[in-house]
Structure formats: C-alpha cells, structure tokens
C-alpha cells in the first residue's frame, strides 16, 4: 500500500506530506477545501460507469492533481535545473510517447521506465505527455505518490517536426519532436488554472531585456521568412482561393475534441460563434475555413467537417504551409490553435474565441477574458518567454541540447531533405 500521508519534524515547524507533495501548515486549510470537493465527488462516483467509460474518477483525480500543483507551486521554476541534476541522477517514469529525443535533454539520465517501475532504481522524475483523464495518466500520478515525487507535464514545443505523429508510414526522423515544454503545474493549453507559462507571462518582475527582445525579433523574422511552423510537411505556395480583390478572412478549424479545446474554454458552440462573428464582422470579405493537419491524415475530424462552400464561404482542404496561408489573408479567427500566434508573428489581426496561451496580453481581440491575466506583453516578450525560456530543444545530429536558433537550422535542413526526396519520388 502506498504511503499517502506523512509528517516530518523540522524542529521549528512540521512538514506534511500528502499525495507526494510537501508543505507546511499554512496551506492545510486551502488544501482541505480541495479534498472536501473531491470527497463529495467520490461519494457520487458510479463504479460501473468507471468500468464502462473510464473517465469519472480519472477526471476527478487529474483535476485534483492539477489543483494541488497550482496551490503548492513555488514562485519560480526552471526546467533547466532538472537537466543539470548531477548529484541526483534522474530515473524517469513516463507515459510512452512520440517524444523520442527527450533523453538528449537529460545528460545525467540513468534510466527510463514506461510501466513496471523497478523499486531499486528509486525513480525520481515522473512525467506525462500532455494531460488527459486516461487510466494511464492516473497510473503515473499514483506511481509518483509512492515515491513522494511530483508529476511534470511535458508537451511538444511550438517548432516540432516535419510530420505530426498522427500520420502513418512516415520515417521516424520526420515525425519525432525536436523539443519539449516542461510545466510543473498544468499544460499550457489549460486555462482552468495558471500554468507555469501563464505565471511567467503575468510576472511583472520578469523583465525581458532589449537584447533578448532583439533575439526574439530575429527568430520571429526568420520563422516568417522561412515559413517554419509546428509541422513542416505542407507545401509552401501562394494560394488562389476566393474572389479577386475581396478581403480575406481566415477561420481556423481544429481537431474535434482536442484537449486544447476542452481545456481552452471552448466547445462546439464556440466554433459556431466564431464562424458567425467572422461572417457578420466582414460582410464583403471572403471567409476561408482551414482544416487542421490531423484531419487530413484521417485520424480525427474537425468542427466544420460537414460545412459546404456557399456564397462567400470557401473551404481550404488542400495542404498548405500555415505561414503561406496566413500571409494571404487580412484577419485570422481562431479558437485555441497555435496558428493564431503564428498569425501575430505575421502581423495579422487575430480574434480569439477560446483562451489560448497567447490571448489576454494585449495582442489579440478576445471574445473570452481570463481575469488572471493582468499584465501586457509585446510580441517579442511573448515569443521570448514561450519559445525560448519555456521551450527546450535538442539537436538530434549532436544528440544534445541546443538553442532555438540551432533547432531551426536542423528543422530547415530536415524539411529541405524531405522536399527533395519527395520530388525524386
């Protein structure tokens, strides 16, 4: 049986351990309120429903985990400290994923374990890939409790790979992610609590220097010029869609039921409202609806799958580089997609209908407001914090960590190689 509760006498004060989290008496009352809510949820829990659907208790468990992370989060967290743990070598426990270059980021890594954890290895770094209410995520959290360790949330970085992991029969090097984000609270798409990324963006004491802004601007300009995006297999060209001379409004579809929608304060109705507003606000414009790359692979559908072209509404189902498409339009309407931030980098007016990480900082026109976000940020500041401070990159050729500029070099070489091979085929 895992030890869920413990007390350590520190002399001047007692340190309590609950569910693998350590804290003093100051936090007890706040924590008690959260546990009380969980207890009420557990009393109404239907075990047959859990057997058939597998989400009720897992959902409560994941939400408790995230709320406790938020409650007990330190003021500052630097993931790079994890990379440099020489005194305490890392033994990782994780959910199997497509992030296969993660070990390049940890030079003092001793071992990784996906499921059956050897106790003699003393695992000390637990993480999940993204957030979900699946049984496997719950399993990782429960395992961490046994060892009094917290669970970190890892996600692909914003400049990821050539292909998405949803495509089949693709050479691994084109599909593996070259970087990650590490959050000690929740996923950056989760607007229910402040993620570490949000805390950094909202921190008035986190000053981005002029030199750092200049570095961010160079990266932004290079991304726009070279058409770098999260996925980079789509062809780069100027589209021909809509009426000649008419303003162009881009409405971006997303994968149905994606966690960025569920946790980003949006649902089916949000997408209906977004399209309605785009049409109403721009009566003389062409409305171009772009499908998500994952829907192209046949893996998942989108929110506008059943929509037919009519009047001034056009569907863009043809594969195209996101930057190429954004450059072609005048305004961009998004829910939570990263493409909205890429549109900001391209200098476009961006309307947000969910609550993505880049909304609420004074750069976007927001139809939902996150009251926690009270600070304003320039585009360069937002980029530097999200793409450079919060993201961590690896160079697969060198099998080591690298800076964003080197990661971009690698992605561009890999993309050129992919396009050249495609032409020969």
Are 359 and 265 in contact by the 8 Å Cβ rule? The answer is no
Are 42 and 59 in contact by the 8 Å Cβ rule? The answer is no
C-alpha span between 43 and 4 (Å, rounded): 20
Are 400 and 394 in contact by the 8 Å Cβ rule? The answer is yes
Burial 218-240 (b: 16+ CB within 10 A, else e): ebbeebbeebbbbbbbbeeeebe
pLDDT at residue 48, rounded to an integer: 35
Are 106 and 82 in contact by the 8 Å Cβ rule? The answer is yes
Query: Where do the structural domains in the chain lie, given as residue ranges?
Result: 5-202, 226-378
Return the half-sphere exposure (C-beta side, CA atoms, 13 A cut-off) of residue 84: 4
Are 336 and 366 in contact by the 8 Å Cβ rule? The answer is no
As a whole number of Å, the end-to-end CA separation of the chain is 58
R_g (Cα) of the chain, nearest Å: 23
pLDDT at residue 99, rounded to an integer: 56
Name the token pair of 425. Answer: 């085929």
Q: What share of the chain is helix, strand, coil (3-state, %, to 5)?
A: 40, 20, 45
Cα distances (Å, whole numbers) of residue 332 to 26, 84, 150, 184, 380? 46, 41, 39, 32, 20
C-alpha span between 325 and 240 (Å, rounded): 10
* Angle separating helix axes 56-72 and 135-146, nearest 10 degrees: 50
pLDDT at residue 89, rounded to an integer: 60
pLDDT at residue 195, rounded to an integer: 96
pLDDT at residue 62, rounded to an integer: 74
Name the token pair of 306. Answer: 């059943």
Pick among 3.40.50, 3.30.200, 1.10.405, 3.50.30: CATH of 226-378? 3.40.50
> Parallel, antiparallel, or unpaired for β 248-252 and 90-94?
unpaired
C-alpha span between 351 and 329 (Å, rounded): 13
Name the token pair of 365. Answer: 């026109």
Name the token pair of 416. Answer: 């050129």
Name the token pair of 106. Answer: 């940890």
Residues in CB range of 424: below 8 A, 6 or more apart: none
Cα distances (Å, whole numbers) of residue 207 to 75, 202, 371? 15, 11, 22
pLDDT at residue 35, rounded to an integer: 57
pLDDT at residue 12, rounded to an integer: 41
Are 328 and 239 in contact by the 8 Å Cβ rule? The answer is yes
Are 144 and 138 in contact by the 8 Å Cβ rule? The answer is no
C-alpha span between 31 and 416 (Å, rounded): 52
| Residues of the chain scoring pLDDT < 70 | 1-61, 86-100, 114-116, 132-136, 293-300
Maximum pairwise Cα distance, the chain: 77
Backbone angles phi and psi of 385, in degrees to 5: -70, -45
Which value, to the nearest 10 degrees, does the dihedral of the CA atoms of residues 101, 105, 108, 112 take? -40
């Amino acid at each position: 049986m895992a030890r869920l509760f413990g007390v350590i006498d520190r002399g001047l004060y007692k340190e309590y351990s609950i569910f693998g989290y350590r804290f003093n008496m100051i936090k007890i009352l706040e924590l008690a309120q959260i546990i009380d809510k969980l207890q009420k949820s557990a009393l109404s829990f239907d075990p047959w429903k859990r057997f058939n659907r597998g989400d009720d208790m897992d959902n409560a468990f994941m939400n408790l985990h995230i709320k406790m992370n938020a409650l007990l989060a330190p003021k500052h967290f630097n993931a790079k400290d994890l990379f440099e743990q020489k005194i305490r070598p890392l033994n990782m426990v994780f959910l199997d994923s497509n992030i296969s270059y993660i070990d390049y980021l940890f030079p003092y890594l001793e071992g990784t374990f996906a499921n059956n954890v050897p106790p003699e290895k003393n695992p000390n770094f637990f993480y999940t890939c993204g957030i979900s209410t699946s049984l496997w995520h719950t399993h990782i959290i429960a395992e961490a409790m046994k060892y009094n360790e917290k669970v970190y949330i890892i996600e692909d970085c914003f400049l990821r790979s050539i292909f998405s992991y949803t495509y089949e029969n693709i050479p691994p090097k084109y599909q593996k992610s070259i970087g990650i984000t590490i959050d000690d609270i929740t996923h950056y798409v989760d607007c229910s609590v402040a993620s570490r990324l949000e805390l950094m963006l909202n921190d008035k004491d986190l000053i981005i220097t002029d030199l750092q802004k200049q570095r961010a601007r160079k990266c932004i300009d290079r991304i726009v010029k070279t058409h770098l995006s999260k996925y980079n297999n789509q062809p780069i060209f100027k589209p021909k869609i809509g009426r000649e001379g008419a303003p162009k409004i881009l409405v971006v579809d997303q994968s149905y039921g994606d966690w960025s929608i569920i946790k980003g304060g949006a649902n089916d109705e949000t997408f209906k409202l977004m399209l309605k507003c785009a049409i109403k606000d721009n009566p003389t414009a062409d409305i171009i609806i772009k499908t998500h790359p994952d829907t192209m692979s046949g893996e998942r559908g989108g929110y506008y799958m059943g929509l037919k072209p009519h009047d001034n509404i056009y569907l863009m189902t043809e594969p195209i580089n996101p930057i190429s498409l954004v450059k072609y339009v005048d305004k961009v309407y998004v829910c939570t997609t990263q493409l909205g931030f890429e549109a900001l980098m391209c200098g476009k007016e961006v309307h947000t209908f969910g609550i993505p990480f880049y909304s609420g900082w004074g750069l976007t026109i927001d139809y939902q407001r996150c009251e926690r976000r009270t600070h304003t940020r320039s585009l360069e500041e937002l980029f530097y914090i999200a793409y450079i401070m919060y993201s961590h990159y690896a160079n697969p050729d060198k099998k080591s960590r690298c800076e964003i500029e080197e990661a971009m070099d690698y992605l561009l070489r890999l993309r050129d190689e992919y396009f050249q091979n495609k032409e020969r085929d």
